Structure 1
Amino acid sequence: MVGALIVALLTAFFTVTPAHAADGQITGLAGKCVDVAASNSANGTPVQLYECNGTNAQRWSSPGDGTLRALGKCLDVASGGTADGTAVQLWDCNGSAAQQWALPSARDIVNPQADKCLDVTGNNSANGTRLQIWTCSGGPNQKWNAPGAGDSGGGSTPSGFVVSEAQFNQMFPGRNSFYTYNGLVQALSSYPAFANSGSDTVKRQEAAAFLANVNHETGGLVYVVEQNTANYPHYCDWSQQYGCPAGQAAYYGRGPIQLSWNFNYKAAGDALGIDLLNNPWLVQNDPAVAWRTGLWFWNTSTGAGTMTSHNAMVNQAGFGQTVRTINGSLECDGRNPGQVQSRVDAYQRFTSILGVSPGANLYC
């Protein structure tokens, strides 16, 4: 009785977000999908990570009772286990606590009975990697985009982001396949105020501003790492007490805003709960981590300016102030007007795609 009461209270505490909007896919590490192995509906069939393919084995729904269902059966913790490493599987829906799932705002998928998160075993993004439950750590292998019914209102997309996947692809037709839309959507949970503050116009303007600057920094989402390898050894500041444990030349520019320097990897990693100081390569190997570092800078750094880029857009200081924050010391006040124009052109193009005016104060 006490156990049932605890489960009921935990289930009530979390807001269950059913995964039944749009195509019903639940995406996670490396933009891959929660998948029923071999589309087999037999009891005990493993649930795994797999390349998204639009099949019914990846189409999840919920009737609003806390379950997640595919192929007519429920996502189930094997034998009702609560230990780290207990596998999840497909099983006849039976109303048990082993089949209850809750989705807090952090985009964990939690089994309240175990108080543990749906987890990709070994942080391995290979097709066929078994899913399990594990103590919630906030790692990328426990972050999921499970579209919910409430996400489709207010002009947003099924992911809750104001930019749809089709619009994203239109913005970046020649992008590197590393920069996935699903990776970006997963990263949004780290900074929920991003493109989600103010009016719909402001939300879209902020999304366009971020992506326009990213476009400039990466050559249209083409470059994952800094191209000038001669610069690599320069980004280690040995005066920092923690030094450069990954190596003198390990902290070169990576990701959508080209994170560089050991102290920036340390600060971003601390903020995101990821050890980027010792493993900076995560930024070039995990799309969601890469996008999170870009959002970290956008939402927390004043850079060469006087405000964060997020605040510049939300408070309507204008796109020009985001340029100042990101690279103002090299580009603004007439230092490199061609570079500024490149950013403004992209911003105007992206706001047009999103159907919103670019606003005032475009230049710095």
Structure 2
Amino acid sequence: MEAKKCVLAVLALLVIVVEVNGGGDDQASSVKPLVKIVKGKKLCDKGWECKGLSAYCCNETISDYFQTYQFENLFSKRNTPVAHAVGFWDYNSFITAAALYQPHGFGTTGGKLMGQKEVAAFLGHVGSKTSCGYGVATGGPLAWGLCYNKEMSPSKLYCDDYYKYTYPCTPGVSYHGRGALPIYWNYNYGKTGEALKIDLLNHPEYIENNATLAFEAAIWRWMTPEKKNQPSAHDVFVGNWKPTKNDTLSKRVPGFGTTMNVLYGDQVCGKGDDESMNNIVSHYLYYLDLMGVGREEAGPHEVLSCAEQVSFNQAAPSSSSSSS
């Protein structure tokens, strides 16, 4: 009898733990959408999964087609003993950050297939920029995304005095690379902090201490144009952007290749068969396969590559690593 009571007590405890943790993978799917009709338009809010009334939240959202096990497959080596950010990056942090941008179309534009492709594209950039994979690494060089959350041995403070009136450097603070799409330089921390309403200029370390914030900063960058009259990486990928005549002459076309142009400019684009460009493309294709979409959905070479594209922005001499 005592043994039976003990078993029942353990089962009850397990039920409580599951409820507190939101049921693991079912956390987002268990949220019943709030639906409102505003001016004849259907708007939805899915709480933890898609935060804020939006038509986009009525679509299939990221956790409907991209679940914990897929995240684990994409970043399978991130918690191995030799990785540099063990225990930092996780699925919940990504979805929590994405929930703020899904109402604006991140992963929710153009139906399920386009959503899957956009998540693979965004994470392809993230994986390539945070990888410690190399040619003979266990599992292959593409299995090591999210190995880092910061630059390990910065060679300088990345303080650009040109911005001393707008984004002045805090004495003794280093603005080296941190995050999912690593942020470099005082002015980039300043701009990102303004957008996220967090004091990153004085506290850039917040990015390496909080995985949700690190993903949020990266998705903000993906969704936000670098300059006026330029598209965001999101817009060029999902087809919201219509190239001008000058864009066409510059060989800039909607698709994955131009996301690299938006994010990195002439650091990787317009340089022919560039190794860093090919590495980003390889991560994207690898992730498409692992997500069950298949790399054949990525499109032709001219859409995937920016090898021949004229860059939107030329890197300034003092900030040649600002987007690396």
> What is the TM-score of this pair, normalised by structure 2?
0.63
Partner of 1:191: 101
State the 1:250 CA deviation: 2.3
Corresponding residue for 1:166? 69
Query: Counterpart in 1 of 2:278?
Result: 341
Preserved CA contact (<8 Å) 1:236 1:248: no
Identity rate, percent: 27
Q: Kindly tell me: are residues 265 and 329 of structure 1, through their superposed partners in 2, closer, same or farther at Cα, counting changes over 3 Å?
A: same
Larger helix proportion, structure 1 or 2? 2
Q: Count residues with an aligned counterpart.
A: 235
Q: Structure 1 residue aligned with 2:209, among 276, 282, 285?
A: 285
| Counterpart Cα distance in 1 of 2:107 and 2:175 | 29
Unmatched 5+ residue regions in structure 1?
Answer: 1-37, 42-52, 67-103, 108-143
1:363 aligns with 2:305: yes
Please give the per-residue CA displacement for 1:93-122, whole angstroms capped at 9, x wherever unaligned: xxxxxxxxxxx9494xxxxxxxxxxxxxxx
The one of 202, 212, 217 aligned to 2:129: 217
Contact 1:212 1:347 in 2 (8 A): yes
CA distance in 2, matches of 1:152, 1:227: 38
Q: Displacement of 1:292 after TM fit?
A: 0.6
- Cα 1:58/1:330, change in 2 over 3 Å: closer
Q: Does the 8 A contact of 1:167 with 1:354 survive in 2?
A: yes
2:309 alignment partner in structure 1: none
CA offsets per residue over residues 133-163 of structure 1, 9 Å max, x none?
xxxxxxxxxxx5599xxx9996656x35x42
Matched to 2:285, the amino acid is Q
Q: How does 1:175-324 map to 2 (within 5 A)?
A: 175=78, 176=85, 177-192=87-102, 193-219=105-131, 220-231=145-156, 233-237=157-161, 239-244=163-168, 246-302=170-226, 306-315=230-239, 317-324=254-261
Offset at residue 245 of structure 1 (A): 5.0
Q: Distance in 1 between matches of 2:259 and 2:165?
A: 31
Secondary structure, aligned partner of 1:230: coil
- Is the contact made by 1:202 and 1:313 (CA closer than 8 Å) also made in structure 2? no
- TM-score normalised by length of structure 1: 0.56
One-letter code aligned to 1:309: A
- What is the CA-CA distance between 1:63 and the residue it aligns to? 11
What SS class does the counterpart of residue 196 from structure 1 fall into? coil
- Following superposition, the deviation at residue 315 of structure 1 comes to 0.5
Structure 2: give runs of 5+ residues left out of the alignment. 1-9, 35-43, 79-84, 132-144, 241-253, 307-324
Q: Displacement of 1:237 after TM fit? A: 3.4
CA-atom RMSD in angstroms: 3.5
Q: 1:336–1:218: structure 2 CA closer, same or farther, 3 Å change rule?
A: farther
Secondary structure of 1:334 counterpart: coil
Contact 1:224 1:254 in 2 (8 A): yes
How far, CA to CA, are the matches of 2:264 and 2:17 in structure 1? 41
Q: Alpha carbons of 1:57 and 1:105: their partners in 2 closer, same or farther (altered >3 Å)? A: closer
Instruction: Report if aligned partners of 2:158, 2:186 keep a CA contact under 8 Å in 1.
Output: no
More strand by share: 1
| Aligned-residue offset at 1:235 | 3.3
Establish whether residue 58 from structure 1 lines up as the match of residue 38 from structure 2: no
Distance in 2 between the 1:228 and 1:301 partners?
30
